[in-house]
Homo-oligomer: A and B are copies of this chain.
Amino acid sequence: MALARVQNFSISLDGFGTGEGLTADAPFGHAGERLHEWMFATRWWSGPGGSGGVDDLFARQFDAGIGAEIMGAGKYGPAGWHEDPDWKGWWGPNPPFHTPVLVLTHHPRPPLEMEGGTTFRFLDASPAEALEAAREAAQGKDVRIGGGPTVVRDFLAARLVDHAHIAVVPILLGRGVRLWDGLEGLESDYRIETIPSPGGVTHLTLTRV
């Protein structure tokens, strides 16, 4: 059975998955890239000079066995991107997904085929409907719930996530968008494990029981 998975989703110690003040030049607002430095430092990301330990093991699960991603409108672009017909995401001509990507938006537009196998499809749907569409697009592979924080939270709240990997970075952002809001009692339905990395990041895994 193909799974719905969250991979490499990074939050601060105080629970923020993104900062405040998101713009086209600052996709994570005042957080900058601080939530993701652990991942950039891995061999998976940066090649032979990178770290080869537990951070790398987790990072590599990002695309292993993944056939499609679901992302929120806030991950695809800065507020108002739907008014710009030329907006094609932050990632340039060859985005790092290499699968169909379903973008949840109240302003659907025609599909957008990029280089490298990424196709953005836009749909206005509930989490359950989106997951059904993504499973079909994934053709038997797993579906990654790609974020942002609100989307991960909504899928967790609906118990649609089978397995989640959350990386807790030891910084305090103080403001932004929280991952854990409104998830009281989640531990009843997920087994939670903690794996610290020598680099300072703490990896959490949540596995639906």
Binding site for B on A (CB under 8 A): 13-15, 170-175, 180-187, 192-196, 200, 202, 204
Contacts and interface: CB of A to CB of B under 8 A. Distances in A.
Closest 8 CB pairs of A and B: A174-B184, A14-B180, A170-B192, A194-B196, A172-B186, A194-B202, A172-B183, A171-B187
A192 B14 CA distance: 13
A59 B117 CA distance: 53
Contact of A180 (B172, B185, B186, B194): B172
Contacts of A15: 14-15, 180
A174 B170 contact: no
Contacts of A185: 172, 174
Contacts of A193: 200
14 contacts: A13-B180, A13-B192, A13-B204, A14-B181, A15-B15, A171-B187, A172-B183, A172-B185, A174-B183, A194-B196, A194-B200, A195-B196, A196-B196, A196-B202
A161 B193 CA distance: 29
Contacts of A172: 180, 183-187
Given A170-B187, A170-B192, 17 more contacts: A13-B180, A14-B15, A14-B181, A14-B183, A15-B15, A170-B194, A172-B183, A172-B184, A174-B181, A174-B182, A174-B185, A193-B200, A194-B196, A194-B200, A195-B196, A196-B196, A202-B202
A9 to B, nearest CB: 14
Q: By CB atoms of chain B within 10 A, which of A170, A186, A195, A204 has the most?
A: A170
Contacts of A180: 13-15, 172
Nearest to A13: B180
Nearest to A171: B187
